[in-house]
Structures are given as structure tokens and as C-alpha cells.
Amino acid sequence: MRKLGIIGGTSWSSTQLYYEHINKAVAQRLGGLHSARLTIESLDFAELVALEHAGDWDGVAKLNIDAAQRLQAAGADGLLMACNTTHKVYDAVAANVDVPVLHIGDAAGDRLAADRIGRIPLLGTRFTMTE
């Protein structure tokens, strides 16, 4: 089993959901007591939100790039960002690591296509909705 890195802390409660759902899926697929091989880099949500509100998207990118690089150094074979809003800096993060980074839009789009759903409502933070 490969190791997944999660950039979390954005917020801790969403990170918890990712952790729970990933582990439930692994246990369901492999059975028994199996769980996911994960490494989580938990950001300080207050620091991230302050940068977002200041419009400092380069700062947001740096926080996430640094986290992604630490996860890669810890042996992660792939990464995900446990926050819709931080996907605004996805391209910068993906360009600064040598492992694949899952984009939530791609994953959601693949699932919607598989389920033959053509239109959905989108809810999110002000940044997700306006950017």
C-alpha cells in the first residue's frame, strides 16, 4: 500500500472527515483491520485565513508548498489538499513537488460523470464561490 500525504488543518474538522472516510474506504476494500498509510501536515487555520483575507495568495501558496514538500520528504507517494479554497493555489503546489497531487475538482468531476450527474449546486467559502 502506498502512503498518502494530506495537507490538513484547514479546518481540523474537515481534515478529520478526510481521515475517517479514507480509512473507512481502505477497511471496506481490504477488510479486517486494514487502515490507510497516511501522513498529515496540519496547518494553523488562523494563519491561513489571515493570509486569505489579506489577499496574500502567494503566502497561501507558500504555506501549502512548504507543507507539500514536508509530506513528500516524509515519504508520501501522493498528496491531497483537504480544503476546497486552497485549491486556488493547487497549480503552485503541484509544480513544487515530484509526487502527484489530487485535485478535488477532478475527483468530484469523475464521480459526477460516473453517476451521470450533469448539474450540481456548489457551496463553499466566499473565496471558493467568487474565485
Q: How do the pLDDT tens digits run along the chain, 131 residues long?
A: 799 999 998 888 989 999 999 999 999 999 989 999 999 999 999 999 999 999 999 999 999 999 999 999 999 999 999 988 888 999 999 999 999 999 877 777 777 788 888 887 776 667 666 66
**Which strands form 37-42's sheet, in the order they lie side by side?**
37-42, 3-8, 78-81, 101-102
Closest to 11 (Cα-Cα) out of 77, 83, 76, 93: 83
Report in angstroms the alpha-carbon separations of 82 from 10, 17, 116: 7, 9, 25
One-letter amino acid for residue 1 of the chain: M
> What's the whole-model pTM score?
0.86
What are residue 34's phi and psi, to 5 degrees?
A: -65, 145
List of residues 6+ apart from 99 with CB closer than 8 A: 5, 72, 76, 77, 78, 79
